[in-house]
Structure 1
């Protein structure tokens, strides 16, 4: 049955939906704690760059940090300069990158396919769980996905059938600029992956003439003008950078388990299945739409399919796997699914809605029937309480999913576009509800239960040590760098260059701590719980000022401050 009217035909309604979407999108950037590891790390790198004014050599806890290029840090510094240092400011760049992806697929879908395809693509991408959640998490994965969306949409716009000479040139220059910005965000994948996609697409589509339409001369000039200056400057200032960055962080990371991020080859299948919700029921059909060959000229759908499959395959065979690595395929999937929504029957949409409903019901059933599994009696009481606090949020998430799915399934035949909007709204709200529910856990993991106790004791010249673990978020909230002890973690290479910035052996730290205690010098240390217990057994003099199941905070002086020092949390 054909729908009689469409909300997509009402400009006013589209504006209302867009404004509501933007309100949710931007509100969610600032109502949660920055959580380890990525959020605290990249926020702190930007804060230190802001304080030192050094935009060439990235540092973390004052230590050289060369694992990634600096574009994310630069953009965070700019937001800190404009709006002050804070949580939503630290997430603003990734939030804008996610929003940029939504806007680009809407515009590209409209220009390359149809106006309805553009709207559907924006709805699909903006509501996909992994995209919507990652855009509200301060990490490089969303930032590089945003830059690679510029690359993908640039080539689609520039190569589309019917593009004028100026549109072709501008689209390809946009593509080259996107690759350069992706390289400045996360390294060589920004150019290697699109280059490989182009080669594979050429053989699949037999579109050999595309190589004449790349505007390679101007494109290369633009690419190197954007990407090269920083690499040259950082190498001049830090001769050790090129080998570490290009060999260790690219070749070694891809071919070995050097960062201990190895996962089975099927890892990303599960991530994709969860991340594409609520559109899982349309995933395979959307990809199948990319197999069909267009009558002539540039094969846009085949380009989208090659982009999706190759990037997914590339990260699946890598020895380094993290959840957000496959984010760059979500814009291409959104466009393919949007094409399927436009061309397919209401049955496929109804199937997706019913699958979404079953997911909501299954989640609700698990939460209601097995709350003890969520709480986990084996955890410390504080962590059990945190898990118990998540349960109402999971119930709310399940109800949102179920309601959105039921509504969409009921109206898919007669009001297909409203069904798409229903699924989109439910997907976006569900992803953000889960993030809100995790906030107490995030606050705890970030170490903020101990923030007041540390701030109460702290003086401008007080050294703060982190022993047996690395605190990713506390430096940002304290506005102070920490001194690592015995646990270099990802700072190992930087500490090899500047070994004076840490204490490799715990015994050396204990000796220094005893000396500070004897002289009355105030020092503060954040210890892994096992380290604290071991130092207690050794009889190391210290005053406990804060504690939770993951860490203990100690001071090296006897006298307490007159202000509230904070009561150790229950284990």
Structure 2
């Protein structure tokens, strides 16, 4: 009895600690460009304008993605005000939802220990835990796709009643709809392709009779149709840009300049699965084996992870976060394996974590070599203590897990998970000095001191993604359309295409103006004798005003 009570106490201590660290991390860092600043600013502008249909960035129409995350960020700003944790709250909750979903699904399908281990694996996987603290779309997409996957698994299990099957399938359709509203058509294309492949791999032809397609499509279109119709009515240019440019051309061409080799995602997967590298291959191979019954859940998980990984690997557009939706499926597969893992394999997994920690400590002094300018050197040096702590946690946690492996397998798994999670969070927190530099945050106070309600702001041959949010001001772009090219084609009056035209307008400004300028361009403008007073500068930007006297 005392052992049971101790186990429960340790469980609740661990859960509370995990949640405290998770939520603390949401507000502990400045919003870093590009994604974090972009989606926070879009939500701020949505609240400021009251327009929840036409999404805008820097006051310009921005239709690259559907609005679910912007809506959620805007709602958070309405409720709690502007800030870092508010901007990350949706992604943080989505990350926790994924952990809870795999725990619940694993328990219902495979038993309590699998559910617990699935939560430990997913919550501690470096990529999942890190992206749960970054305001980017891929965590929201992954959470909604996890809803679709877990609901499908629960609906199709052999012992599901007719009512359970119908209700869970409707949740699956709702998950796909919300995934579409998060990031576009991949929210239904990827699960649909997985279903087709699973049908042939598992020879489960009858699954198509259990999908409740009619009611499911009704739920799907009730969720997705209203916004697509309303935004198309307000913006006739939207359908072609969104469906052709942002989907077909993004996948089949290098139009977004995000190409990479076929193996691009392999190192990301390996690093992202830390601290579970030692059981990754064995866990994935779980899905190959047949199990008694009509529905093959492990095959579904394997097809889900394998196809999505393959899909993005052959795509012409690649970013590290794209493969995030495969992590819940991998967590469930690995949790099934951990239920019967041998001491030798668990020992190897813990030893790998220890080795990674020792390697981090050994390479610590090489981190400052990553600095590209003298300005960055102290920023990397400031990062060293957190890297050292993260490496020490990994090394000590792995070593402790190795000691526990022989007699306390469950405790060894938990220690491995917490060591991996805490090490990853230390790395995130320590990055803040570099993030502040990337965002230009050190210059915010100086710019705010010069701002008046009538001050016009320009961004000259660069576009800042985070400063507009912190300054609560949009900027007029000059000679640099960046990702806003499509919106500027619709409203060309919102920017200045040529630098010479900016020079003319700057000289003729009737009131106070501020410009954020690329440093080399600032030197060119200085040679032209343009009236400018520097109010802030770093190697990435120079900020000036046209009023020569403070």
TM-score computed with the length of structure 2 as normaliser: 0.98
- Hey, what's the Cα distance between the residues in 2 that align with 1:137 and 1:470? 20
Conserved 8 A contact 1:8-1:116? no
Q: What is the match of residue 529 of structure 1?
A: 519
Q: 1:165 to 1:116 in 2, by over 3 A?
A: same
Conserved 8 A contact 1:544-1:555? yes
- Select the residue among 24, 27, 43 that pairs with 2:24: 27
Q: Deviations over 1:453-497 (max 9, x none)?
A: 110110101111011111000111011111111111110000000
Whether 2:266 is the aligned partner of 1:266: answer no
After the TM superposition, which residues 24-173 of structure 1 pair with which residues of structure 2 at under 5 Å, given as runs? 24-173=21-170
- Hey, what's the Cα distance between the residues in 1 that align with 2:64 and 2:384? 37
After the TM superposition, which residues 195-344 of structure 1 pair with which residues of structure 2 at under 5 Å, given as runs? 195-344=192-341
Conserved 8 A contact 1:7-1:13? no
After the TM superposition, which residues 462-541 of structure 1 pair with which residues of structure 2 at under 5 Å, given as runs? 462-516=455-509, 519=510, 521-541=511-531
- Hey, what's the Cα distance between the residues in 2 that align with 1:213 and 1:538? 72
Conserved 8 A contact 2:287-2:302? yes
State the secondary structure of the residue aligned to 1:340: helix
C-alpha deviation, 1:252, in angstroms: 0.3
Q: Deviations over 1:204-238 (max 9, x none)?
A: 00011100100111100000000111001100110
- Hey, what's the Cα distance between the residues in 1 that align with 2:73 and 2:336? 36
Whether 2:451 is the aligned partner of 1:455: answer no
Q: What is the match of residue 176 of structure 2?
A: 179
State the secondary structure of the residue aligned to 2:417: helix
User: Which residues of structure 2 form unaligned runs of 5+?
Assistant: none
State the secondary structure of the residue aligned to 1:343: coil
- Select the residue among 398, 403, 424 that pairs with 1:410: 403
Q: What is the match of residue 13 of structure 2?
A: 16
- Hey, what's the Cα distance between the residues in 2 that align with 1:367 and 1:7? 42
Q: 1:170 to 1:469 in 2, by over 3 A?
A: same
C-alpha deviation, 1:557, in angstroms: 1.0
Q: What is the match of residue 546 of structure 1?
A: 536
- Hey, what's the Cα distance between the residues in 2 that align with 1:545 and 1:333? 50
Q: What is the match of residue 564 of structure 1?
A: none
- Hey, what's the Cα distance between the residues in 2 that align with 1:6 and 1:340? 25
- Hey, what's the Cα distance between the residues in 1 that align with 2:61 and 2:4? 53
- Hey, what's the Cα distance between the residues in 2 that align with 1:333 and 1:120? 12
Q: What is the match of residue 558 of structure 1?
A: 548
C-alpha deviation, 1:7, in angstroms: 7.2
Q: What is the match of residue 567 of structure 1?
A: none
Q: What is the match of residue 382 of structure 1?
A: 375
State the secondary structure of the residue aligned to 2:369: helix
Conserved 8 A contact 1:106-1:122? yes
Q: 1:7 to 1:434 in 2, by over 3 A?
A: farther
Q: What is the match of residue 563 of structure 1?
A: none
Conserved 8 A contact 2:364-2:384? yes
User: Which residues of structure 1 form unaligned runs of 5+?
Assistant: 561-571
- Select the residue among 418, 424, 432 that pairs with 2:425: 432
Q: Deviations over 1:333-363 (max 9, x none)?
A: 0000000000221221111111111111111
C-alpha deviation, 1:12, in angstroms: 3.7
Q: What is the match of residue 354 of structure 2?
A: 357
Q: 1:6 to 1:265 in 2, by over 3 A?
A: farther
- Hey, what's the Cα distance between the residues in 1 that align with 2:135 and 2:203? 40
- Select the residue among 446, 460, 475 that pairs with 2:439: 446
C-alpha deviation, 1:5, in angstroms: 11
C-alpha deviation, 1:385, in angstroms: 1.0
State the secondary structure of the residue aligned to 1:290: helix
- Hey, what's the Cα distance between the residues in 1 that align with 2:367 and 2:448? 37
